[in-house]
Amino acid sequence: MNRPRHPRHAPPPNAADILKEASQWMLRVSEGPLDARERAVLAEWRARSAEHERTWRRAEQLLARLGALTPAAAAALKAVRPRRRATRRLVWLAATPTMLWAACRSARHAWHEQCEHTGIGERRTVTLSDGSLVTLNTDTEILIERDADTHGLRLLRGDILVDTAHRHAAPASSTRRLRVRVGQSAILARATRFELRQGRPRHQLAVFSGEVEIRAGAAMPIPARIGAGQQALFSDAQVGSIMPLHRRDAAWREGRLVAHGMPLPQFLGELERYRGGTLRWRDDVAGLKVSGDFSLADTDLSLALLEKALPVRVRYFTRYWVLVVPS
Query: With pLDDT > 70 as the criterion, what percentage of the chain qualifies?
Result: 72
Confidence (pLDDT) at 148: 52
Q: How far apart are CA 2 and CA 5, in angstroms?
A: 9
pLDDT at 249 > cutoff 50 = yes
Global pTM?
Answer: 0.67
pLDDT at 84 > cutoff 70 = no
How many angstroms from the chain centroid is the CA of residue 255?
Answer: 18
112-244 placed in CATH 1.10.10.10: no
pLDDT at 61 > cutoff 80 = no
Do you know the residue count of the chain?
327
Query: With pLDDT > 90 as the criterion, what percentage of the chain qualifies?
Result: 43
pLDDT at 165 > cutoff 80 = no
For 104-113, 174-183, 203-212, which range has the lowest pLDDT when averaged over its residues?
A: 104-113
For 87-96, 121-130, 140-149, 226-235, which range has the lowest pLDDT when averaged over its residues?
A: 87-96
Average pLDDT taken over every residue of the chain: 78
Q: How far apart are CA 91 and CA 82, in angstroms?
A: 9
The secondary structure of residue 283, as a DSSP letter, is G
Q: Per-residue pLDDT averaged across 59-78, rounded?
A: 53
Q: Per-residue pLDDT averaged across 40-53, rounded?
A: 81
Question: Where exactly does CATH 3.55.50.30 map onto the chain?
Answer: 255-326
Question: Where exactly does CATH 2.60.120.1440 map onto the chain?
Answer: 112-244
For 44-48, 133-137, 181-185, 287-291, which range has the lowest pLDDT when averaged over its residues?
A: 44-48
pLDDT at 315 > cutoff 80 = yes
Degrees (nearest 5) of the Cα angle 185, 187, 191? 175
Non-local (6+) Cβ contacts of 9 within 8 A are none
State residue 127 phi and psi, 5-degree precision. -110, 125
Q: Per-residue pLDDT averaged across 178-196, rounded?
A: 91
Higher pLDDT, 146 or 183: 183
In words, the CATH class of domain 255-326 is alpha beta
Non-local (6+) Cβ contacts of 39 within 8 A are none
Using the Cα atoms of residue 164, residue 165, residue 169 and residue 173 in order, give the sign of their dihedral: positive
The secondary structure of residue 176, as a DSSP letter, is S
Q: What is the pLDDT of residues 99-155, one digit of tens each?
A: 444 544 554 444 456 889 999 899 999 998 888 899 999 999 998 876 555 578 999
pLDDT at 79 > cutoff 80 = no
Confidence (pLDDT) at 23: 74
pLDDT at 213 > cutoff 50 = yes
pLDDT at 299 > cutoff 60 = yes
Burial 3-15 (b: 16+ CB within 10 A, else e): ebeeeeeeeebee
pLDDT at 51 > cutoff 80 = no
Confidence (pLDDT) at 261: 94
Q: How far apart are CA 137 and CA 227, in angstroms?
A: 23
The secondary structure of residue 95, as a DSSP letter, is -
For 8-17, 146-155, 219-228, 313-322, which range has the lowest pLDDT when averaged over its residues?
A: 8-17
Residue by residue, DSSP assigns 192-255 as -EEEEE--SS-EEEEEEESEEEEE--TT--S-EEEETTEEEEE-SS-B---EE---SS-GGGGT
Compute and round to an integer the Cα radius of gyration of the chain.
21
pLDDT at 312 > cutoff 90 = yes
